[in-house]
Amino acid sequence: MALTNLDPILSLSKRRGFVFQSSEIYGGLNGCWDYGPLGVELLRNVKEAWWKAMTFRDDIEGIDASILMHPRVWDASGHTAQFSDPMIDNKTSKSRHRADNLIEDFIDRLRKKGKNNDADRIAVRLSAVEELSDYHAIIMEEQIPDPVSGTTDWTEVRNFNLMFKTFLGPVADDSAAIYLRPETAQGIFVNFKNVMDSARQKPPFGIAQIGKSFRNEINTKNFLFRTREFEQMEMQFFIKPGSETEWFEYWREQRWQWFLSLGMKSDSLRRKPHEKLAHYAAAAEDIEYLFPFGWGEIEGIHSRTDFDLGKHQEFSGKKLEYVDTVTGERYTPYVIETAVGASRSFMAFLCNAFDEEETSGEDGKTDKRTVLRFHPYLAPLKVAVFPLVNKDGMPEKATALYNDLQKNFKATYDTSGAVGRRYRRQDEIGTPFCVTIDGQTLTDDTVTIRERDTMQQVRLPISNVKPYLLEKLAL
Ligand code: GAP
C-alpha cells in the first residue's frame, strides 16, 4: 500500500515510540526530534549497517571528529562565505521563507489546480536563477502570495547563512565565534594526513564518519526530512588524480546496492544527476527516495577533484599530499564523497517498510493489519517471546528462552491478550519473528516461530531457535 501522506507514519512514530517532538511538553522545538525506544534501535541499526558496509574492508578507516572545529576550517571550505539559502520576509505576517521553496510550493499548487502551463513556465524561470534578485523578480511578477497573510507584501531576497554560531570560552565576542559543524565531511578532510600516516594507508583509500550536523534551516519540513539537527554518514575516498571516473562509477553503484540490500523497493529509488555542477566538481549524483510528499534526496555521491584538500592546504599552510617514498611521486589526492543522512534514510526506511493489508484474523474474519516490513537487520526488535497462556509452566519456559535470546538479540516478552493480538502488536513495529511456547512445548520441547511477512509458522526444537534466528538475521 503506497502512502499518500505522512500522517500514518507520524501517528505510528509517536504511538509506538519511534520519534517524539523535541521538548514536547514545552510545545516542541521546531526542526528538532527525539528518537524513542524503538526509534533509537532502528537508527542504530541503519548506522551499523552503513558502518559495516563502509568500514569492514581494508581500504576504509573510521574516525569520530569533534563537532566544534577551528573557525578557519569553514573559511577554507567556503561555508562562511557561501553556505546560505535565499531568504524572504513577508512584511504583513512577518513570516520568513526560503525564496526557492516559496516558488516551488507555488508551482506545486498550480499543478494541483491543473495549471500546468503556468507551472512549467515558472519552473523554467526558477531553474535559470543566477542571482538573489532573480528570485525576487519571479515572486513579484508571478504575484506569489504569502501562505500566511495572502499578501504579496515582500521584502528583498537576502542570503541567510545556515551555520549555527556559538562562542568558545567565556567571552562572547566575535574573536571567540565558532560554529556547530554543518557537515561531517570537514572533520575527515582535516584529518586526511593523520589517518593516512597512522593507519599506513595510501590512495585509493577512504575515511568514514557518522555524526551529528547542524543547519539553521529557514524552513524545516516533512518530519525528519529537513531538520536543524540531524546525523550524517559520510565517506571521503582519496584517489590518484585521473582515476576519478572509475571510482565515481564504483561508488555510485555501491551506494545504490546498499539501499537495495536493505530492502528498499527499487521503484521507490531513482538516480538524479546534478544539472549544475559546482565549478570544482567533476560529477555529482543524488539518490532520491519517493517519499509520500514526492521525490527527495537521501544521498549525494560527488566527485570533488582536489578542491577540499587544496583549500585546506592553502588556508592551513600544511601539505596535504600523498608522497610515494620509493618513486618520489607526489600529488594532492582527488576525492569521491558519499554523503547520506542517517536520519533522512531512517525516515525513508520507515516509509518503505510501512504497509497496511487485509488479512484473515485468527477467528477467520477479515482483519486489517499494519505491518512494518523492515529488513530483519534493521528491525528495532528482532524477536518476541510469548507463553500461550500464563500458567501450566509455560511462563517459566518462555522466560528462560527470552533471557537466553536477549544475550544475542534485542528481544521482547509479552503475555497480555490473545496471541493474535500479540502478533499484531509486533507486526506494527516490524518485529520479524515471534516465538510461542505452548502445551506441546511442555511435552517435547518444541516451539513455533512465526514469520512477520508471510505469517507462516514453523515448529522447531527450543535448542534450534537461536541458530535459526542467527541465520535469518545476518546481514
Ligand atoms: N558533505 C556533503 C554534504 O553534506 P549534503 O547534500 O548537504 O552534502 C548530505 O548532505 C545528506 O545529508 C543529504 O543527502 C541528506 O540525506 C542529509 N541532510 C542534509 N541536510 C539535512 C537536513 N537539514 N535534515 C536532515 N538531513 C539532511
pLDDT 10s digits, 61-115: 999 999 999 999 999 999 999 999 999 999 999 999 999 999 999 999 999 999 9
Superfamily, domain 381-472: Anticodon-binding domain (3.40.50.800)
A 10 A CB-CB count for 405 gives 22
What is the rounded (10 degree) CA torsion for 123, 128, 129, 134?
A: -80
Whole-number pLDDT of residue 363? 66
Question: 340 CB less than 6 Å from ligand 1?
Answer: yes
Q: What is the mean pLDDT of residues 445-454?
A: 97
Q: From the alpha carbon of 341, which atom of ligand 1 is closest?
A: 16
Contact 217 CB / ligand 1 (< 6 Å): yes
- Taking the centre of ligand 1 as the mean of its atom positions, its distance from the CA of residue 370, in whole angstroms, is 30
In 95-138, the DSSP E strands lie at 96-98
Architecture of domain 7-67+192-350: 2-Layer Sandwich (3.30)
Ligand 1 pocket member 183 (CB < 6 A): yes
Q: Ligand 1: does its nearest atom lie under 6 Å from the Cβ of 233?
A: no
pLDDT tens for 15-25 read 999 999 999 99
**Is the per-residue pLDDT at 156 higher than 90?**
yes
Q: What ranges make up the beta strands (E) of 307-353?
A: 322-323, 330-331, 334-341
Average pLDDT over residues 435-460: 97
Ligand 1 centroid, distance to 41 Cα (angstroms): 21
* Closest C-alpha residue for ligand 1 atom 22: 226
Residue of 264, 308, 337, 344 to test ligand 1 pocket, by largest number of atoms within 8 Å of CB: 344
Q: What integer pLDDT is reported at residue 48 of this predicted model?
A: 98
Task: Ligand 1, residue 345: give the atom nearest the CA.
Answer: 16
Q: Is the pLDDT of residue 361 over 80?
A: no
CB of 185 sitting under 6 A from ligand 1: yes
Chain region(s) in the chain for CATH 3.40.50.800? 381-472
Q: Ligand 1: which of 84, 101, 164, 183 to mutate, judged by most atoms within 8 Å of the beta carbon?
A: 183
What's the number of CA atoms in the CB half-sphere (13 Å) around residue 138?
Answer: 26
Residue listed under C-alpha cell 497573510: 149
Q: Find the angle CA(275)-CA(277)-CA(280) to the nearest 5 degrees.
A: 170
Ligand 1 centre to CA of 428 (Å) is 29
Taking the CA of residue 454 as centre, how many other CA atoms within 13 Å lie in the half-sphere pointing to its CB? 6
Instruction: Verify whether ligand 1 is closer than 6 Å to residue 422 (CB atom).
Output: no
Tens digits of per-residue pLDDT, 384-436? 999 999 999 999 999 999 999 999 999 999 999 999 999 999 999 999 999 99
**Percent of the chain surpassing pLDDT 70:** 99
Does the Cβ of 300 fall within 6 Å of ligand 1? yes
Contacts of the segment 122-128: beta carbons below 8 A, 24+ positions apart: 126/100, 127/275
- Integer Cα distance of 181 and 329 in angstroms: 34
Q: Is 427 exposed, middle or buried (0-12, 13-18, 19+ CB in 10 A)?
A: buried
DSSP-derived secondary structure for 287-310? EEEEETTEEEEEEEEEE-TTHHHH
CB 213 within 8 A of CB 231: yes
Tell me what the mean pLDDT of segment 236-248 comes to: 98
For the Cβ of 234 lying below 6 angstroms from any atom of ligand 1, the answer is: yes
Residue limits of CATH 3.30.930.10 in the chain = 7-67+192-350
The pLDDT of residue 278 is 87
What pLDDT sits at residue 279? 87
What letter would DSSP give residue 164? P
Nearest CA to ligand 1 atom 8: 339
